[in-house]
Amino acid sequence: MWRIVLPLGYHEAMSSGKGQMIVPPFAGVSLVEYRDRVELTPAYWVREFVGLGKCKGKDVLCQPEDDSYTIFDEFLQDKDVWVVVGWEQCEDGREEPTLMNVVHGTEAEAQKAYQGMIDFCNMSKAELEEIGKCFKQTEEDLAYIRNRFPESPPDPKITGATEKERREQIEKRDLYQARLKVLAGMAPKTVTLMQQAYEAEEPQKREKLEREAVQAYFAELSLDWREDEVLAWQRSNPVGTKWMCEFARVLSEPQRELDPINHELALNWIRRGYNLMTAEELSDAILIMAGERVSPETLKKRRERLGLTSKRPPGPRPKSEQ
């Protein structure tokens, strides 16, 4: 069997789908953007592998007793097939399969499928998003890209960037910081540690702060977990006395909630074009999306506190735009 090691990837934790939580050792906390929300998600490092081998079809395909058994499976049961498999290995050595492609053909065809899976695993975020434009993406498709490339603080000091690219990066950075401010309402200490880790210059210090952010995440955001999930988390991610005390303190207080208006502003500031609206248009849009009338003056104060900058000058639209 041939095997190639691909670059490290940064993924969020996921449920096993069997009522149990897969809890690997987490390396940090990421901000993830979904269609309807932004949230903090613990993330872990994995190493990706792609392998190619040959076996009997019955060793890898569905069996007659399986609900998904097809005539294709029946035809290949006793035939030799090539199998291309992708899997991930976590820091603790646990391995999880991710992709599988069964090839009934020549070795050259199998090698082509093998290289195709390697190329897919090496695709950039931009390449995956471009492919996504060719078909109707499911939430699972979108989640794959979000989990593989979690949002990170944009850097406006990109070497060789044009003035337009710098302005775009500044706008994205401001939006990222606004989203962190909103999420700090739920997890203030987690967000503080994330920001400190980002600003840390020494790798060891950054890694220490990222790991501590994982403990803070547990203390501030695991309050509605089942007992078995809490215990599974602690087996893979030991929580120190400091954060266990914080967990007990947060547990005794009223549950924190996100401000829905601020969340809507931070989630859709660019996506819905709020940054291009007049104050009155923004007030009307927030009424429709959040179900609450907020005056233009109040919204101006809110977005300024979040650091969101409007691209429109004050006042109504000129007649040329109406």
300 falls within a domain: no
* 11 and 72 co-located in one domain: yes
309 falls within a domain: no
* 144 and 8 co-located in one domain: yes
159 falls within a domain: no
Q: Which of 200, 230, 251 is the last residue of a domain?
A: 251
295 falls within a domain: no
* 12 and 141 co-located in one domain: yes
Q: What is the mean pLDDT of the chain?
A: 86
Measure the CA–CA gap between 112 and 95, rounded to whole angstroms: 25
* 228 and 144 co-located in one domain: no
Residue 51 has pLDDT above 90, yes or no: yes
- Work out how many domains the chain is built from and give that number: 2
Mean pLDDT over 114-123 rounds to 92
- Predicted confidence (pLDDT) per residue in 86-96, tens digit: 998 888 888 88
pLDDT given for residue 8 in this prediction: 54
- Predicted confidence (pLDDT) per residue in 62-83, tens digit: 777 777 778 777 888 888 899 9
Range of the domain at 246: 184-251
* 119 and 240 co-located in one domain: no
Compare 62 and 254 and report the one with higher pLDDT.
254
pLDDT given for residue 82 in this prediction: 92
43 falls within a domain: yes
- Predicted confidence (pLDDT) per residue in 161-218, tens digit: 788 888 888 888 899 999 999 999 999 999 999 999 989 999 999 999 999 999 999 9
pLDDT given for residue 3 in this prediction: 43
- Predicted confidence (pLDDT) per residue in 293-318, tens digit: 999 999 999 999 999 988 776 666 66
* 90 and 223 co-located in one domain: no
Q: Which of 195, 218, 251 is the last residue of a domain?
A: 251
314 falls within a domain: no
pTM of the model: 0.77
* 6 and 143 co-located in one domain: yes
* 198 and 137 co-located in one domain: no
Band (17; pLDDT cuts 50, 70, 90): very low
Residue 1 has pLDDT above 50, yes or no: no
Compare 145 and 195 and report the one with higher pLDDT.
195
pLDDT given for residue 187 in this prediction: 96
Residue 284 has pLDDT above 70, yes or no: yes
pLDDT given for residue 2 in this prediction: 41
* 117 and 39 co-located in one domain: yes
Distances (CA, A) of 177 to 113, 129, 154, 168, 308: 42, 24, 10, 14, 9
* 19 and 66 co-located in one domain: yes
Share of the chain above pLDDT 90, in %: 47
For 270, the token pair is: 């660019």
- Predicted confidence (pLDDT) per residue in 255-265, tens digit: 899 999 999 99
Q: Which of 148, 173, 196 is the last residue of a domain?
A: 148
Residue 142 has pLDDT above 90, yes or no: no
* 133 and 236 co-located in one domain: no
302 falls within a domain: no
115 falls within a domain: yes
* 241 and 111 co-located in one domain: no
Residue 160 has pLDDT above 70, yes or no: yes
Residue 154 has pLDDT above 70, yes or no: yes
Mean pLDDT over 242-258 rounds to 93
Give the chain's largest Cα–Cα span.
Answer: 75
